[in-house]
Amino acid sequence: MQRQADALRRLGLFLARRLVQSIFVLFGLSILIFTIARVLPGDPARTALGARAPQETVDRLREEMHLNDTLPVQYTYWLGDALRGDFGMSLVTRRSVTTDIAEFLPASLELVIFAGVLTLVGGIALGTLSARYKDSWVDNLIRILSYAGVVTPAFIFAIIFLLVFGLALDWLPSIGRLSEGVPKPPLVTGLITVDALLAGQLATFWDALQHLIMPGVALALGSMAQEARITRATMADNLNKDYIAAERALGIPERVVMGRFLLKPSLIPTISIFALDFAANLANAFLVELIFNWPGISRYGVNAMLRKDLNAITAVILILGVVFILMNIVVDLVVGALDPRIRLRAARSD
């Protein structure tokens, strides 16, 4: 009991400290983004209105956007709005950026979570298989495949899938999140598959899942291959550790040594890389989203960039930053749960 309370208290302290650190990082990030948006050449008001807009309109907008104030003042205005969740209007959609993000972020999350599950399950399974049958044909095959996976960018997979399964064979739907005419489930989480299941609309769930497969797999293959390689390398490395020899020397059967005593320490690097890949995929998905016309946040962000829609650009980067930082905290928590040494080190420093 005492130990549990202690552990909880330590967890609380850890989270508190990480959150404080994160706020500093986010603050710095906001300055960085603001700098990119304002200091680089070009007049945001002119950009927003287009080259043909009359000068008076531009001047009025400049006034509205506080562009005539000094940069630090501009920054405070901008930050104040951002903290209230107000990132201004999007030039692309002509809606509030916050509304846009609320719509597009769940679509991206659904895609990335689906890809993440594939990555983790596939990567660990392939890596373990490869390490277990090291130097056999299974191992060699997996290694060659994972090499191919690592060096091929996701958008090339996406194009090939689209070509083969979408267009040539026509097995899977290749555009958007749902087919036309399929009823949308009531909005709860924003993830259509989950919402459909919650509402019991199995047909919708099935359709949404089919839409997920191609972009999800295209996105997952790269990180899956990466995970498989890391898992294999760590396992092969740990297999030569003295503690494995010691456990074998004690007469513990091979199946227990491999499945328990080897697996757990070997998962630590895999998991830490996975969580970071997961967050990075949110941004790296933009070409996959473009190719499959998936209404996700990074496609939105890139469109905003191509149109120089500064409000949307800053908001998207900030949101991705928040997700990235959160995932970093999750990594620390998960790795801490797996590895007592890290837990102990953290405990010693409070």
Cβ distance 327 to 276 under 8 Å?
yes
CB of 110 to another protein, least distance (A): 18
Residues 101, 89, 292, 145: is their CA dihedral positive or negative? negative
Q: Out of 77, 147, 171, 206, name the contact with another protein by CB under 8 A.
A: 147
Residue 136: phi and psi, rounded to 5, are -90, 180
Q: Out of 235, 313, 315, 331, name the contact with another protein by CB under 8 A.
A: 313
Residue 23 makes contact with another protein by CB under 8 A = no
Task: List Cβ neighbours of 93 (8 Å cut-off, separation of 6 or more).
Answer: 100
Concatenate the DSSP letters of all residues of 263-305 into one string: HHHHHHHHHHHHHHHHHHHHHHTHHHHHHTT---HHHHHHHHH
Q: Out of 305, 329, 330, 346, name the contact with another protein by CB under 8 A.
A: 305
Residue 153 makes contact with another protein by CB under 8 A = yes
Residue 1 makes contact with another protein by CB under 8 A = no
Residues 31-60, interacting with another protein (CB under 8 A): 32-33, 36-37, 40-42
Residues 59-98, interacting with another protein (CB under 8 A): none
Q: Out of 163, 187, 202, 203, name the contact with another protein by CB under 8 A.
A: 163
Task: List Cβ neighbours of 31 (8 Å cut-off, separation of 6 or more).
Answer: 75
Residue 237 makes contact with another protein by CB under 8 A = no
d(CA 81, CA 29): 16
Mark residues 246-285: x for contact with another protein by CB under 8 A, - for none: xxxxxxxxx-x---xx--xx--x----------xx-xxx-
CB of 99 to another protein, least distance (A): 21
Residue 301 makes contact with another protein by CB under 8 A = yes
Residue 168 makes contact with another protein by CB under 8 A = yes
Q: How many CB atoms lie within 10 A of CB 214?
A: 26
